[in-house]
Amino acid sequence: MSSVKKEPPRFHIGDWVKFDYGPKKVSAMIVEDRGLLGIQGRRLYRVQLDKELGEASTFEVPENELETELPPVRLSYEVKYISNDNTNVWHARTRKERVLKGVKAKGAVAYTTAFYEGERADDQRYAAVQVLLEVEVDP
pLDDT, tens digit, 9 for 90 and up, residues 20-56: 988 988 888 899 999 888 888 889 999 988 665 556 6
Separation in Å, CA 56 to CA 15, 48, 53, 94, 117: 16, 6, 7, 33, 41
Distance CA 32, CA 136 (A): 27
How many structural domains compose the chain?
2
- Is 53 in the same domain as 93? no
> Domain boundary at 49, 68, 87, which?
68
Judge whether 81 lies within some domain: yes
CA 131, CA 98: separation in Å to the nearest integer? Answer: 11
Average pLDDT per consecutive 10 residues, the chain (139 residues; last block may be shorter)? 68 90 86 88 88 71 90 88 81 90 83 80 83 78
Residue 37 shares a structural domain with residue 91: no
Q: Is residue 61 in some structural domain?
A: yes
Instruction: For residues 72 and 18, give the distance between their C-alpha atoms in angstroms, rounded to a whole number.
Output: 12
Domain that holds residue 87: 73-135
Asked, for residue 3, whether it belongs to a domain, the answer is no
